[in-house]
A and B are shown apart, each in its own frame.
Chain A
């Protein structure tokens, strides 16, 4: 993986120089999918993204993104692709400034929750028609467009890999010792196991929420869905009457507060981030860990090298069902958080727009999808038929089945609505799981922010 990252990096660096004058004769190169449709545009095309080479070392989506982007750049020799690559935190900050200054790059990655606001302000190009005319239209997994839709129009091609945001990673051997052949389906059983693990001197579940978004993305999105059901979420997104203060959602908050007070988590859940918490699991200090697909790929890569025993016994499960929840049990929140979007200003320059469209289609198209499917057993926007899982080891297969086959998807809250709402809610949630604020109050604050900002 590391090598690939470096190769991709070197490719990117040289591509611009070497192929700048060379034209597109390398069409026959490794990629089957890219059509050399003779783009008329020559000149600079800017793209801003956050797949740093560092990121690509452990993250299949980033690796695929960089690889396909480099191929495109190579083949479209007449276009000078100008990349601005920032780590994700800096990316979010910078893109916010650029949006405010009305100076977005030609092509960039749009976060689901910004879609409505930015579309309303005319910052992003309406891609509805472009998507319909895409050569890959038939292969797209259409529900994935939902976070990037606003008033019946679609504003981007979902990018990178769609992974779960909420998975329980557990050591099946330890849980067997505690008397469970698989991860418990109820929280009451988890609490039972907690006594066993306490005596052993380890935490039952490790979780890290110092960044404040984890409790929302990796816990509440799924737990909330168990209480409210998916229709409520859609009603909230589409402003059709649902409110944070509705009883089922408040119940989900109450449950969340109780379960974090019950002591089954590591005591420092609010002071460490997910990266620390997963280290607890890797080091054997906790019997299970709750996180997202990014944590899983890290845990797998690390354990494979350092602890093959634990790698073998590590299994995946959905969150147990809370008492009183009426929604589906086998659910987890999963989706694509970002989409490739195009600056609305490109509409005035059809040649450049064609280039941008070609770029957007390729980095989300079959080339990307088959790359990540073959190398990482991950899925993106474009569906890949007949993935041969047999060449992957058991853990990767298990996780593929967990993510795409065995369980039902529900929405990731913060792919929608507005960051203004989530920032308020996440801050309160952190206080709430410390036990210092009433769930009702949390819901009221979130609702107030929702009304004021959405």
Chain B
């Protein structure tokens, strides 16, 4: 089938200039759509940035326009206020995120692989159990989780948040890995088995490199989820010294006051570490997402 379609394309290409013009038009259209969409995706960041340089009045007068007299006043206010614990919360968030994401990737990969490939009695029940995790609204577990954690004395510790982040991150990771592994031809593992490779070796040294794209994908998705997570942070952390960034940021909104440019500055500060990380490493991340495929 391949060769036939290939030939079709080739003959079509050399057909005539009209077709070539069509191709150009088509490519302009494709590029245009994508550029437009990419722009809308990145515009909020630009807008957040220049709006945060405005003062409240300036912003309310014109939401879209550029600032008339840009100022870092909003950022200063946030950075110097010791009540926000901004630096220590950044550190806490970073630690939680890194540890949680690593655990999610490793555990998600192992379980996802086993569920995709190994036939055993518990396979379906375990899979269903993880599927359940996708459809539970977090708020419904707030009270039970609070009670559980405080009774066991594991709330309000530096490692507290990693536990729910891992648990709630697993289902997505498992399903992505499971779907991906099923798309990989089985011959590789069969060949490895014939060569006498142990299960663990196959798991980590043969299949893991192939699954790299999906693992990188899981990694970035979970990085932002963990970084932005709020409900558990509010629920389980009391001590300001171990609170995370989203929790620290709530201190900005008083009961009856809201200052949009200031909130935006706060949002930018919250986002900055992960966003910088994302843009700096985007090349590598994307490479990781698209290479590693089986050459067949």
Q: How far is the CB of B122 from chain A (nearest CB, A)?
A: 33
| Bound CA span A55–B251, Å | 8
Which one of B45-53, B102-110, B212-220, B253-261 contacts A? B253-261
The total of interchain contacts (Cβ-Cβ below 8 angstroms) comes to 85
| Cβ-defined partner of B255 (8 Å) among A9, A88, A94, A273 | A88
Contact partners of A101 in chain B: CB under 8 A: 143, 146-147, 150
Chain B: interface size category: 20 to 34
Which one of A79-87, A328-336, A353-361 contacts B? A79-87
- In contact, B256 and A59 (Cβ under 8 angstroms): yes
CB-CB under 8 A for A87 and B250, given A9-B83, A101-B143: yes
* Residue ID in chain A nearest B255 by CB atoms: A88
| CB contact list, A55-87 vs B, under 8 A | 55, 57-59, 62, 84-87
- In contact, B60 and A283 (Cβ under 8 angstroms): yes
- In contact, B255 and A55 (Cβ under 8 angstroms): yes
| Bound CA span A58–B146, Å | 34
- In contact, B150 and A275 (Cβ under 8 angstroms): no
* Residue ID in chain B nearest A8 by CB atoms: B83
- In contact, B234 and A93 (Cβ under 8 angstroms): yes
| Cβ-defined partner of B257 (8 Å) among A58, A90, A97 | A58
- In contact, B61 and A58 (Cβ under 8 angstroms): no
Does residue A31 face the partner (Cβ distance < 8 Å to B)?
A: no
Main SS of chain B's interface residues? helix
* Residue ID in chain B nearest A92 by CB atoms: B255
CB-CB under 8 A for A9 and B82, given A53-B251, A87-B255: yes
- In contact, A298 and B142 (Cβ under 8 angstroms): no
Does residue B287 face the partner (Cβ distance < 8 Å to A)?
A: no
- Tell which of A87, A93, A274 has the most Cβ of chain B within 10 Å: A87
| Bound CA span A295–B256, Å | 8
Does residue A271 face the partner (Cβ distance < 8 Å to B)?
A: no
Does residue A50 face the partner (Cβ distance < 8 Å to B)?
A: yes
Does residue A114 face the partner (Cβ distance < 8 Å to B)?
A: no
* Residue ID in chain A nearest B262 by CB atoms: A54
Does residue A182 face the partner (Cβ distance < 8 Å to B)?
A: no
Contact partners of B142 in chain A: CB under 8 A: 97
Contact partners of A52 in chain B: CB under 8 A: 83, 251, 254
Contact partners of B60 in chain A: CB under 8 A: 279, 283
- In contact, B143 and A97 (Cβ under 8 angstroms): yes
- In contact, A294 and B256 (Cβ under 8 angstroms): yes
| CB contact list, B242-273 vs A, under 8 A | 250-258
* Residue ID in chain B nearest A10 by CB atoms: B82
CB-CB under 8 A for A6 and B254, given A100-B143, A283-B61: no
| Bound CA span A361–B127, Å | 57
Contact partners of A292 in chain B: CB under 8 A: 256
Q: How far is the CB of B287 from chain A (nearest CB, A)?
A: 40
| 9 closest Cβ pairs, A-B complex | A55-B254, A88-B255, A294-B256, A53-B83, A87-B250, A54-B254, A100-B143, A9-B83, A275-B258
Can you report 21 residue pairs joining A to B where beta carbons are below 8 Å apart? Answer: A52-B83, A53-B81, A54-B257, A55-B255, A57-B254, A58-B257, A59-B255, A59-B257, A85-B83, A86-B250, A87-B254, A87-B255, A88-B254, A93-B234, A94-B234, A97-B235, A103-B150, A274-B256, A275-B256, A283-B61, A298-B257
